[in-house]
Structure 1
Amino acid sequence: MKLTTTGCGVGCWSRSARTVRARAEEEKTWPDVIPADRLEAAFDVLRARGFVAEMSASTTMSGGWEVSRELADLRREQGETIVGTVFFDQQDAASAMEGHPLHLAYGLVNDAEDDAREDERTEAEDAKVSEDAAAVGRTIVEVLREHGFTPEWSGDASSRITLKPAFVWRRRRARVDTTETWSLGEGNRILALLVEFLPRLRAFEFFPGDGVGVHELRSDSLRELTLCYDREEAAKDALATVVAQARERFPALQSLTVRAGGFEETVEL
């Protein structure tokens, strides 16, 4: 997770936290399963079958293909076989936010060797590529149907898949971030105000100060908290107050550590 504090002080980040918190409260009123959840589950299945599957892959269609190629190359380097790709770009998402059907791009993701000889393919080879791309489309449509959608598709590899029924696109923010461990330097302590929006966070380390302290933070998932100080005396003094604060703000917390230079003390909770 990469965030920057440039141009934004404590008040700014506090307002941002309130905005995200309000969205989290709104999401609690949503049904247990929304269309975006089913689409995300479908994409998970496709990834497991060797697909690159990305939501809002880029700002444009061409950018989405570039993202697909980069991800495919990375996974090939790890020994995976890539079957194909499926994605939609940010323009598609913006349209779906207005209730229009979501359109999916798909196809084969060539490696560098295939790209180099694309202009040299015979007519029979081109036909084989088209059939392979159509097979990719058939697999995607099948998986989408298994997840409750009724996609429209001509069966032609040159046409996009239209996801139906149409729905207003929205996605749960709580499912976006998967950070489990987080360490903030002294210059980025303001970002600690966002710790409550990391639903899988287990271990967190930061420097309290400048109006950002344990009493202002909260997390239902945090297990290990480390507080860093410039001086050993400050770390020792902090134990008199932060243990009680941490118990209140982090109900799942199991250990609290204070650290300064070579000094370190851990309290099991």
Structure 2
Amino acid sequence: MSKLQADQAYANQQIVHYVWAGFHSSEDIERTLLEDVFQPGDLDADWVRAGIDREFAKKLEQQIDWPEKTDCDRLDEVFAELEGQQLIALQNAGYTQSDGMEDMSEIWHERGAEKSGVVGYCFYHGQDLERVVKGEPLYLTYGDIAGDDARGVVIGELICRVLERHGFTTNWDRNIKTRMHIAGIDWKRRTPDY
């Protein structure tokens, strides 16, 4: 396999992921592939654009048959409710758990840090998103904003109750060192304007 063929195969995998993840416009995906994932000139922009358009067309065709309210719609409701419970609740926060913690911390500081009234956080990151798009469980990072383990468990219990109230099945051993996850989530996030 030539370098170009290998690059195109990897680019196709990335296109499928970004389109089906549901957070990115075609322009965002194109820019990410051509400027961040690959070196300028490694891939033909027209080839990338055509691949993105093909994948969005597949998704839009399938979206017609999706239920009116998908698991992703319910997850949006969960995260909005958690925000109302004085938590910072982020979807697709960075690529790794460390990135997600940085994003959460930045938002906490923007809201006024200790004066913000924020008591905890809940998020999933890009690697979690990659797994859930492939049909695996969605893992969540959570905790007390000040790092108190006992309060972190209470926050974890709150998150589980909210998820379950919205029809999700959670798996968690009530240990602050263990990430909870949502089993059986059917990842169908509607396409943003593309």
Q: Structure 2-normalised TM-score?
A: 0.68
Relative distance call for 1:96 and 1:18 in structure 2 (3 A) is closer
**Tell me, what secondary structure is at the counterpart of 2:175?**
coil
Q: 1:53 aligned to 2:71?
A: no
Kindly report the root-mean-square deviation, in angstroms, between the aligned alpha carbons of the 2 structures.
2.9
Whether the 8 Å CA contact 2:143–2:149 is kept in 1: the answer is no
Unmatched tracts of structure 1, length 5 or more: 115-128, 175-196, 199-269
Say whether residues 1:94 and 2:130 are aligned partners.
yes
- CA-CA distance at 1:25 after TM superposition: 3.6
Select 2:173's aligned residue among 139, 150, 154. Answer: 154
Once residues 69 and 52 of structure 2 are traced to their aligned partners in structure 1, the CA distance between those partners, rounded to angstroms, is 27
Taking CA–CA contacts closer than 8 Å with sequence separation of 6 or more, which of the two structures ends up with the larger relative contact order?
A: 2
Q: Which residues of structure 2 form unaligned runs of 5+?
A: 1-24
2:150 to 100, 111, 131: 131
**Structure with greater helix share of residues:** 2
Residues 221-262 of structure 1, C-alpha deviation per residue, up to 9 Å, x if partnerless?
Answer: xxxxxxxxxxxxxxxxxxxxxxxxxxxxxxxxxxxxxxxxxx
Which runs of structure 1 show a deviation greater than 4 angstroms over 4 or more consecutive aligned residues?
1-19
The DSSP-based 3-state class of the residue aligned with 1:86 is strand
Query: What is the distance in 2 between the residues matched to 1:61 and 1:100?
Result: 17
How far 1:139 sits from its partner (Å)? 0.7
Residues 28 and 80 of structure 1: CA distance in aligned 2, closer, same or farther (over 3 Å): farther
Identity over aligned pairs, percent:
26
Q: 1:167 maps to which residue?
A: 185
How many residues are treated as equivalent by the alignment?
157
Is contact 2:90-2:123 (8 Å) kept? Answer: yes
How much does 1:158 deviate? 1.5
Q: Which structure has the larger Rg over C-alpha atoms?
A: 1
Cα distance, 1:162–1:9 mapped onto 2, change above 3 Å: closer
Deviations along 1:148-172, one digit per CA (max 9) or x if unpaired, are 01211111222111212x2343311
Asked whether the equivalents of residues 91 and 123 of structure 2 are also in contact (C-alpha less than 8 Å), the reply is: yes
